Amino acid sequence: MNANVNESELDKLNTALEEGAFRQIRYTLNKTLRPSEVAHLIEKSPPKERRLLWSMIHKDIEADVLQELGDDVKSEILSKMNTSEVLAISESLEPDDLADMMQQLPETVMHELLRSMDHQNRERLEKVLSYPEDTAGGLMNTDTITIRPDITIEAALRYLRRHAELPDMTDCLFVVSRKDTYIGSLPLTRMLVSDPSSTVREMMVTDKPPIQADMEDTLVAKLFEQEDLVSAPVVDENNQLLGRITIDDVVDVIREDADHSLMSMAGLDEDEDTFAPIMKTTRRRAVWLGINLITAFMASAVIGLFEETIGKVVALAVLMPIVASMGGIAGSQVLTLMIRGQALGHVERSNARWLLNREMIVGLLNGLLWALVVAVIAVLWFQDMTIGIIIACAIMINLFAAALAGTLLPILLKTWGIDPALAGSVLLTTITDVVGFFAFLGLATFFYS
Amino acid sequence: MNANVNESELDKLNTALEEGAFRQIRYTLNKTLRPSEVAHLIEKSPPKERRLLWSMIHKDIEADVLQELGDDVKSEILSKMNTSEVLAISESLEPDDLADMMQQLPETVMHELLRSMDHQNRERLEKVLSYPEDTAGGLMNTDTITIRPDITIEAALRYLRRHAELPDMTDCLFVVSRKDTYIGSLPLTRMLVSDPSSTVREMMVTDKPPIQADMEDTLVAKLFEQEDLVSAPVVDENNQLLGRITIDDVVDVIREDADHSLMSMAGLDEDEDTFAPIMKTTRRRAVWLGINLITAFMASAVIGLFEETIGKVVALAVLMPIVASMGGIAGSQVLTLMIRGQALGHVERSNARWLLNREMIVGLLNGLLWALVVAVIAVLWFQDMTIGIIIACAIMINLFAAALAGTLLPILLKTWGIDPALAGSVLLTTITDVVGFFAFLGLATFFYS
């Protein structure tokens, strides 16, 4: 498929929206585009257009579109539906998506929904709901195809042919005992090249242990990446087969996981809707600005200690942001590298010491280099040798402090159970600002008094 | 599989490394761990341990381990091999991985390698090499299984059974004409539920157009995500089947793509090795510090314009970092949101105006709120009404400028073909520093003169 064609199709749709050509839009939404493309279009539209688009979607594809939407957008749309609309949509969702949706519904609607389901579906849903959203159990679906180990491949093929269709992303059948205990997997690719008279037991694969339902979703993602899996069985603590996880849901975990570091470092939520309404956005941003204001005042307080010195040598006020800024930049490089390393599972206790040593040496070397450069410029600018010496020392101290803070903060924060991506950058700039101003103005007070 | 078991296995290995228990390590590396786990272990080890670990790996698994490594680590290891070692490894690599590796080899080794390959393999490799690394063609493998449309499902099943095994991640067969023109796909799941006497033509799927070889890899990834694909056919401009792309390679693209924004915003490369050697790290970091130093000096120059005013009212020097810092924080929130929006394909010309309006209003509202808070604190701190009015105005101006810059910079940079994630943060802080200091000190000069 040529994605450019789609892009221009979406552009056309935008023009149509502006011109109010609703019949054309309705046709495109329901006949030309796939649910995933409709969802993409809704996500990149401002709130008013979003409501308009949603209202033009046919009931039949509402559920498909809904489950392609991001959490933030999804809950916005769900919050505007009445109970019967929610019920109608829930019928065509898979258990894992339904479980996700449940968590965004008001209590009353949720109970209504559970009551309206038939026994089998409610049981399936409750199985998924009984595990936290960010575990293998919360990620799994229950649409497994199981076979017994003692039948022949030929019988298994006949059994499959009795199905009208197989679930999407079925790349293997799960071999279970009479009591649903997981025994092994039979990849379809293996089944297709097997001698039909051999048994499932002979052909099945048992070297890949099943996933425990309480495994963290990020670990599940790592496993899928390392083993190049398409689907994997999920079992409980008694090795009973509960369901399966498929790569499409794992890709969502990987994407969210990777977005998390980027967004958190700017104090944003990874689910943050690009087109969130103004008041919601203002409120969320205000909190982050408030937190950062406290750290800014701490830096100001440090400067306040040296008012007298600044009054005597105003050049200090001109140069002091350079010291703080160089420290902040150097520190955030280390911090970002460490946070990415933690996400990839590269950074842990056993290599922390090596990383700290490396970063301290890098900090010292870059400190030396840039201290020299800045000192020369400062001396030429203000025709004052002393200020050159002071700023050189301050920059070396601050780049060293930045290396220390950038390396140790993420490790310490993680040990304390605090998200380094969220708290790291605020704490780091506090440290580099305070150390930078204190070193620079402190040295100046010493030299100029 | 329980990943915790693995973690502790790796811990044990680390202890063994420290104790020099080489026999035990050699056994674990070659017998217990999977290639992907060995690669992970190498990636999270410092250089010295890395070389030691690599030297203990058996020749048979070297290629498997190598292709699981990140680009930076891979090229470091390749650079230390001689030609015959490279040749030995290349034999067990798939064309797309081989093509990746080729780009990291010295010219002479590359030619040697091409000469040593047999005709069929060279042809396959050259097919992949003829497309840039970041396109569908560079991402594809040539291990497709093709069938003709006019045979029956039964014949197709017999044909498959003649294979000893099917390539990994084979979820569908590709239906081609006698001249290798792509006609459609036959999912295995569909094949298995079909009446054996029906023809491939009747059962094949044709509603998913094949991927053009020159499609950008990020668009390929989006397509896989939207359509929940496991594999997809790649064709040239004449609709000739060239190969196929599988989800495992797409996951790598998604991961790199997502890492790119995070790392670039700190001036780091997404392939950056967490354990890169000191001199390499120092050099790379120095460049980024140098660029940021220029912007820091621009901010200083602005402050320098107002030396006289600062000399009269030293409180200005104490408070000025607050104005700059609040602007920087507010701006980088907008910038991060925009960069993520661009990566997801949410931000484009048609909705830029809406976003700009939203951000300007959010900037004004938060500007009003925090201007008031800071003003009250400043007045109480310095017992001076004037300084409260000045800082309130400056903060409002700077938060408004931050909203403008945060929204417009990524759009403009992208139009000019510059990576917003890389250049955006430097430019943004330059703007918020310069505007912040200029507004605050400029207003102060006006009020206090």
* pLDDT (tens digit per residue) in A12-29: 667 777 777 778 888 888
- Which of the pair, B193 or A24, is modelled with greater confidence? B193
Same domain? B19 vs B113: yes
Dump pLDDT digits (tens) for B343-378.
888 888 778 888 999 999 999 999 999 999 999 999
Look at residue A258 and tell me if it is in a domain.
no
Q: Given its phi and psi angles, is residue B228 left (phi above 0), alpha (psi -120 to 50 degrees) or beta?
A: left
Same domain? B297 vs B362: yes
Specify the DSSP element, H or E, that contains A176: strand A172-176
Mean pLDDT computed over every residue of chain A? 87
Among B14, B297, B347, the residue with its CB nearest the CB of A274 is B347
Contact at CB, A286 and B369, closer than 8 angstroms: yes
Same domain? B427 vs B338: yes
Contact A161, A176 (CB under 8 A): no
Look at residue A267 and tell me if it is in a domain.
no
* Final residue of a structural domain among B86, B111, B139: B139
Say how many CA atoms lie within 13 Å of A143 toward its Cβ: 17
CATH number at residue B118: 1.25.60.10
Dump pLDDT digits (tens) for A393-414.
999 999 999 999 999 999 999 9
Dump pLDDT digits (tens) for B40-63.
888 888 887 888 888 888 888 888
Which pLDDT score is estimated for B293? 93
Place of tokens 């090249």: A193
Counting every residue, how long is chain A? 449
Among B1, B34, B321, the residue with its CB nearest the CB of A300 is B321
Note the ipTM here.
0.83
Look at residue A251 and tell me if it is in a domain.
no
Same domain? A47 vs A79: yes
Among A208, A333, A339, the residue with its CB nearest the CB of B1 is A208
Look at residue B269 and tell me if it is in a domain.
no
What percentage of chain B has pLDDT greater than the value 90? 50
Same domain? B134 vs B155: no
pLDDT, average across residues A321-333: 94
Distance CA A254, CA A259 (A): 9
Closest chain B residue to the Cα of A38, Cα to Cα: B226
Range scoring the smallest mean pLDDT among A24-38, A239-253, A389-403:
A24-38
Most trustworthy range by pLDDT among A147-151, B76-80, B112-116: A147-151
**CB neighbours of A135 closer than 8 A, spacing ≥ 6?**
A213, A214, A215, A216, A217
Look at residue A193 and tell me if it is in a domain.
yes
Dump pLDDT digits (tens) for B81-100.
877 788 788 777 777 777 77
Which pLDDT score is estimated for A135? 92
Dump pLDDT digits (tens) for B242-257.
999 999 989 988 888 8
Which pLDDT score is estimated for A126? 79
Q: How far is A112 from chain B (nearest CA, A)?
A: 31
Specify the DSSP element, H or E, that contains B224: helix B217-227
Name A182's bridge partners: A176
Which pLDDT score is estimated for B2? 39
Contact at CB, B292 and A329, closer than 8 angstroms: yes
Distance CA A135, CA B442 (A): 55
Closest chain B residue to the Cα of A221, Cα to Cα: B251
- Model confidence at B398, pLDDT cuts 50, 70, 90, reads very high
Contact at CB, A297 and B68, closer than 8 angstroms: no
pLDDT, average across residues B189-195: 92
Contact at CB, B351 and A45, closer than 8 angstroms: yes
Number of folded domains in chain A? 3
Same domain? A300 vs A428: yes
Same domain? A349 vs A380: yes
Q: What three-state secondary structure class fits B182?
A: strand
* Residues of chain A found within 8 Å of residue B230, distances taken between Cβ atoms: 169, 171, 230, 247
Interface test with chain B among A65, A73, A251, A429, by most B beta carbons within 10 Å = A251
Among B188, B228, B361, the residue with its CB nearest the CB of A192 is B188
Task: Please say if the pLDDT value at position A391 is more than 80.
Answer: yes
Contact at CB, B275 and A358, closer than 8 angstroms: yes
Range of the domain at A385: 278-448
* Final residue of a structural domain among B139, B165, B192: B139
Closest chain B residue to the Cα of A234, Cα to Cα: B1
Same domain? B250 vs B189: yes
Task: Please say if the pLDDT value at position A8 is more than 60.
Answer: no
* Residues of chain B found within 8 Å of residue A11, distances taken between Cβ atoms: 350
Same domain? B118 vs B161: no
* Final residue of a structural domain among B263, B295, B321: B263
Which pLDDT score is estimated for B190? 93
Handedness of CA B151, B152, B153, B158 (dihedral sign): negative
Which amino acid would we find at residue A352? A
Q: How far is A223 from chain B (nearest CA, A)?
A: 8
Residue A97 sits at the vertex; the CA angle it makes with A92 and A100, to the nearest 5 degrees, is 130
Same domain? B12 vs B53: yes
Same domain? B21 vs B132: yes
* Residues of chain A found within 8 Å of residue B350, distances taken between Cβ atoms: 11, 14
Task: Please say if the pLDDT value at position A175 is more than 90.
Answer: yes
Q: How far is A14 from chain B (nearest CA, A)?
A: 7
Q: How far is A115 from chain B (nearest CA, A)?
A: 31
Q: How far is B195 from chain A (nearest CA, A)?
A: 8
Look at residue B363 and tell me if it is in a domain.
yes
* Residues of chain A found within 8 Å of residue B377, distances taken between Cβ atoms: 297
Contact B321, B441 (CB under 8 A): no
Contact at CB, A281 and B358, closer than 8 angstroms: yes
Same domain? B301 vs B422: yes
Look at residue A16 and tell me if it is in a domain.
yes
Look at residue B181 and tell me if it is in a domain.
yes
Q: How far is B119 from chain A (nearest CA, A)?
A: 28
